[in-house]
Amino acid sequence: MAKVSHIQILERGLTQKCPNCGEKSIFETTFKLHENCPNCSLAFERGEGFFLGSMSINYSFTIIFCLIPVALLWYFKIISGLFAAIFALIGALFFPVIFYRCSRSLWLMFYFLVLPHELPLNKK
C-alpha cells in the first residue's frame, strides 16, 4: 500500500475525511464523531483527553474571529458597549457550536501531520 503523504493528510483534514484512508466522514451525525473509521477502523480518539486539542482550537478561533473583532469595534467606538456585549455573547455561544466539526477535524489533521507514522498505512 502507498504511504499517506502530508498533503493527503492536510486535504483529508480540511474535508473531514479519515486521515488514513480518506474514504468516509469522521462524523457519524452532526455532533457525534465515529469511534473508528467505518472503512479502515482507525481510532479517532487517540487516548484519554484527546478532545482537549480540538477544544483549544475551537476556543482560539472563537476569540480570534468573534471576540477580538467585537472588542475592536467597541474600542474604536463603532458600536456601543451594549451592542458589543450582545454581539460578543452571541458569538461566544454560537460560533463554537458551528465550528465544532471543523475543530475536531483540524485537531486530528494536526496530530497526524506531526506524527504521520501513527497512521496504519504508514506503518507497513
pLDDT at residue 26 in the model: 96
Query: How far apart are the C-alpha atoms of 7 and 16, rounded to whole Å?
Result: 14
Query: How far apart are the C-alpha atoms of 68 and 108, rounded to whole Å?
Result: 26
Query: How far apart are the C-alpha atoms of 84 and 68, rounded to whole Å?
Result: 11
pTM exceeds 0.85 for this model? yes
The tens place of each residue's pLDDT in the chain, 124 residues long, gives 569 999 999 999 999 999 999 998 999 999 999 999 999 999 998 889 999 999 999 999 999 999 999 999 999 999 999 999 999 999 999 999 999 999 999 999 999 999 999 999 998 6
